[in-house]
Amino acid sequence: FQRKKKKILNEKTKMLDVVIVGGGASGLACCHRLLKHDPTLNIKILEAKDRLGGRIFAKDLKVADGTESYDLGGQWIGRSQIHAIRLLKEFDLSLYDQNYDGSTVNILDKGTTFYTSSPLSLAFQSVYFAYDMIQGMKKIDEYSQEISIEEPLSHPRAKEWDNLPMSHAKQYLFKHQWSRKLLDIAFITMFGFDLNQASFLYVLLYAKCAGGMTVLIDDRFPGNAQESKVKGGMFKLIEKLKGAVGEEKILLNRRVTSIHNHVIDDQNGFCSIRTENTEEFQCKYVVMAVPPHLISNIKMTPELPTEHKRLLQFSNVGCLMKCIATYKRKFWQENGLSGMSLHWPYYAEERSIEHPVSITYDATSCNGKPALVGFIGGSLIQKMRHLTEDKIKRAIINSFVLFFGDEAKEYIDIAFQDWSKVEDNGGCPVTFTTPGAVSKYGDVCLRQPHLRTHFAGTETATLWRGFVSGAVQSGERAADEIIRRLDTSYVPKDIEVALRKYDGEDMEYIS
């Protein structure tokens, strides 16, 4: 027994090529790219949780004739999200359209209900609202295109915009109360925070990474962020990546507590990594593929540069709850509805824990199993913390009934995921910086290597930041950085594509 134990310890402390901290989409994509370049590389992925996927997570729910898997984490993809699209093609995973056929339900303040072809088309109930919405969105898109993702502080108004909370910018950009409320709903779903928590510059950078705010919030826009879903669910991509990298390279329940960069000289050195259960791993390079707000929990030696540390201190993570209910029939479609709905209380603080869902979509599976998905976000989640699981489920169904009528009570199964309670995530969907942080400490430091430690994660992406595709891009970029250190002649094949807008062929839609 003693000899066997010693052998295990020697195996763990022998020199690895790369250790990847985090087994989400970015960590797995990083490992996959490294192994495609050199299958002989000795790599370990250390994941703190008892599962892979990070912010991608699925659960089997009861349906009329058995069970079906539904995404309770990241799920949507658009045709311009090239990095995720490429992986899906590689693994023969296909997409199907998010359903938008039918009317959108809009519950306004005081219970007024409008039925429209899309959320933005509600604007045409009022000429003033329409003009205000179009002009405000146009301004955000124009400003976002002026910002450099690589050097955001080079813009002459960068400091001004960074010190301006988005809630204040909203007052300047939009004058109509409905325009402002639509922005509230969109941001609660996209970011999981209320508008006073992040800066206007942060929002502009986020929009720039997606090609504009219109692409992010107009669900009828071609190539929008909620255009399609993966057949079988987004978690299929995680399963395929796991199979590609090999289960032997993945270690679950390994929460990293410290990383020590041992620098010998410019060319030589190594890293030692310790986990919560006192295991030690040694490697040539480390990739941190975890959300930025979790990096502060890991002791780094030598410490991170001051700017990087300070920016992490001023980074918060959104609060988002995703909920899904399954049904026997798509009764909303039978009634001419798309399954999309929005709740527009006049003030954000008026959102009620009795009807907490801000927005819903049709969540019918690729196999035609009917379901609705809804989102609850921002400060309202804090008010729901004291509720039991049954009361939260009841509140979710109350919202669905408000949108779609009493038939919503006849659900088969229901589940929700409060991401703020998930250990080693602490929130969802994205980490954001508070007003003033970027102008003081920069933004690009989040993805700049520190000695032999490299950084991935969707928050470090330059395309589709905050999305699965951004996670994949960041993991592949970190892999390329390490490959270039191992092989100075290496030139990534798709580096040009990663730095330019799509040309149609690169983004070919999967039917």
**β-strands 58-63, 103-108: how paired?**
unpaired
Q: What share of the chain is helix, strand, coil (3-state, %, to 5)?
A: 40, 25, 35
- From the CB of residue 173, how many other CB atoms can be counted at a distance below 10 Å? 20
CA 2 to mean position of chain CA atoms: 45
Please report the pLDDT score of residue 350 as a whole number: 57
pLDDT in tens, 278-293: 999 999 999 999 999 9
pLDDT tens string, the chain, 511 residues long: the values are 343 433 333 445 689 999 999 999 999 999 999 999 999 999 999 999 999 999 999 999 999 999 999 999 999 999 999 999 999 999 999 999 999 999 999 887 666 676 776 655 555 567 788 889 889 999 999 999 999 998 999 999 999 999 999 999 999 999 988 888 888 888 888 888 888 899 999 999 999 999 999 899 888 788 899 999 999 999 999 999 999 999 999 999 999 999 999 987 768 899 999 999 999 999 999 999 999 999 999 999 999 999 999 999 999 999 999 999 999 999 999 999 999 998 876 444 556 889 999 999 999 999 999 999 999 998 888 889 899 999 999 999 999 999 999 999 999 999 999 999 998 888 888 999 999 999 998 877 899 999 999 999 999 999 999 999 999 999 999 999 999 999 888 888 654 444 444 333 343 333 3
142 in a known ligand binding site? no
DSSP calls for 395-419: HHHHHHHHHH-GGGG--SEEEEEEG
d(CA 354, CA 97): 32
Strand partners, 337: 103
- The tens digit of pLDDT for each residue in 106-160 reads 887 666 676 776 655 555 567 788 889 889 999 999 999 999 998 999 999 999 9
Is 47 flagged in the annotation as binding?
yes
Query: Binding site annotation covers 48?
Result: yes
Largest CA distance in the chain: 80
Q: Where are the domains of the chain?
A: 1-53+234-304+450-497
Which 3 state secondary structure label does DSSP give 457? coil
Top CATH class of 1-53+234-304+450-497 equals alpha beta
- Whether 322 and 371 have beta carbons less than 8 Å apart is answered as no
**Is 26 within any annotated ligand binding site?**
yes
Does 375 show up as a binding residue in the annotation? yes
Q: Give the pLDDT confidence score for residue 110 in this predicted structure.
A: 60
pLDDT at residue 112, as a whole number: 63
Q: pLDDT tens across 362-398, in order?
A: 999 999 999 999 999 988 888 898 999 999 999 999 9
Listing DSSP states for 167-234 in one string gives HHHHHHH--SHHHHHHHHHHHHHHHSS-GGGSBHHHHHHHHHHHT-HHHHH-TTSTT-TTSEEETT-T
